[in-house]
Amino acid sequence: MSLPPPTEKQTRIIWMAVTGLAIGIIVALVVALVWGLGEVLNVLSPVIWPIAVAAVLACLLDPVVGFLERRRVPRMRAVAVVFVLALLIVLGLAASVVPRLVVESQQLAQKSSEFTKQLPAQAAKLATNPPRWLPERGVELLESLGSLVKSMETNPPVVLPSAPPAGSATNETPASSPAGELPNTWNPVTDYVTRLLPRFGEWMRQVVGFVGTVFGVIAGLALVPIYAFYFLLEKQGINRQWRDYLPVQDSRFKDELVFVLNAISEYLVAFFRGQVLVAICDGMLYMIGFALIGLPYALLIGVMATFLTIIPFLGAITTCVSALVIAVVAFGDWQHPALVLLVFAVVQGLEGFVIQPKIMGDRVGLHPVTIIIALMVGTTLLGGILGGILAIPLAAVLRVVLTRYVWNKPAASR
């Protein structure tokens, strides 16, 4: 007995179910792909990060090399001149900045425990003495928070002692050895050695791992200038011949693949070159602003901001919170935290309206909400700082693919 054909309503429901299933499978495949990419990057990170740093460095230095080439300087000589200038700048910064940076890092490391202890007391002090320019509701809220913190400090939670095991005596004395029998003095030694050996093995494993990590970092840093030199030197040859190395025969599919890869490469170069320059400008502005208001460790915070603001939003928030904590503990007034917020607002305003439009323009073309979602997904799936750095370029790559094949299909396929 044959079943009757589905009605128009049933057909729509079936197609909606099939479409939902297909979308779910595609989303699952994308998540699995990103997770697999994160695992591959985690395994191959000692090999990949020197190449990635060298590629970013080559992107930063390539405009200078191109400028010298337009002045009829041979590319080999132009690359050598740029590397010598970059080396002199790095040595000058190392001689002038690194010693002070080391001193501030050591001082902050020594006072970190003191800062942790003083922060609740200073926060309670500020909350109980609110500034006059706050509205009445804000004053009441701060006073209630201050009284809560003070009550927690003066009346800490009582930890009840755990009850002794059943059948055990509270004043139990060790049993004496039988008369005429000497105590075995070797048992404590053997017990101690037995407990010490696993800890010693774990310590040796950590030491060997740390030495291996340090050696890998030093080797990677030594390879970065070599990679960057050859990237700059062979740029023209790479641009001319890279499509010949694609394992695809000449066809319309290869042309589409070359177009997509070129668009992705332009997005990646624009993002990393622009974001590194923006981060350097932000770090210098934070350092100058915090030094002008007399904030301790201004140089350290500025250098930290230079590296952190490569990740949009997250780096700026981390820098602001760190500066606020130092201002609260070091000064204990409302003026310096307010000045920290003022410096933060000025730097963010300059970044949003002057620096970023001049350096990056609209070449990445991602909405701020899209950037925030990409950061959350990247840090969740790829993990940590690496995920935050790669999240926005991967979102831009996804935008290229969707723009090409979903939102604006090629004319030949219509």
**Residue 5 CB: number of other CB atoms within 10 A?**
7
Q: What's the average model confidence in pLDDT over 31-44? A: 77
CA distances from 323 to 203, 328, 337 (A): 36, 9, 8
pLDDT for 291: 92
pLDDT for 186: 53
pLDDT for 160: 46
Contact 308, 384 (CB under 8 A): no
Instruction: Flag whether pLDDT at 353 surpasses 60.
Output: yes
**Residue 392 CB: number of other CB atoms within 10 A?**
24
Side chain identity, residue 253: F
Contact 231, 54 (CB under 8 A): yes
187-241 pLDDT per residue, tens: 565 665 566 666 666 666 676 666 667 777 787 788 888 888 888 888 877 777 7
**What six digits make up the tokens of 375?**
């950061």
Classify residue 135 by its DSSP letter: -
Query: Which of 315, 310, 366, 386 lies closest to 34 in space, CA to CA?
Result: 386
245 vs 409: CA distance, rounded Å: 27
Q: What's the average model confidence in pLDDT over 303-311? A: 86
68 vs 223: CA distance, rounded Å: 25
Instruction: Flag whether pLDDT at 335 surpasses 80.
Output: yes
249-299 pLDDT per residue, tens: 878 888 888 888 887 777 777 777 888 888 899 999 999 999 999 999 899
pLDDT for 128: 67
Query: Which of 309, 386, 381, 295 lies closest to 348 in space, CA to CA?
Result: 309
Contact 291, 352 (CB under 8 A): no
24 vs 21: CA distance, rounded Å: 5
120 vs 202: CA distance, rounded Å: 37
140-159 pLDDT per residue, tens: 555 555 555 555 555 554 44
pLDDT for 158: 47
CA angle centred on 184, ends 181 and 187, rounded to 5°: 160
Query: Which of 6, 49, 43, 29 lies closest to 389 in space, CA to CA?
Result: 49
pLDDT for 292: 93
Q: How many percent of the chain have pLDDT more than 70?
A: 72
Q: What's the average model confidence in pLDDT over 103-128? A: 76
**What six digits make up the tokens of 78?**
């132009």
More confident residue, 327 or 412: 327
56-89 pLDDT per residue, tens: 888 888 888 888 888 888 988 999 999 889 888 8
Q: What is the mean pLDDT of the chain?
A: 76
Q: What's the average model confidence in pLDDT over 297-320? A: 86
Query: Which of 344, 345, 365, 343 lies closest to 274 in space, CA to CA?
Result: 365
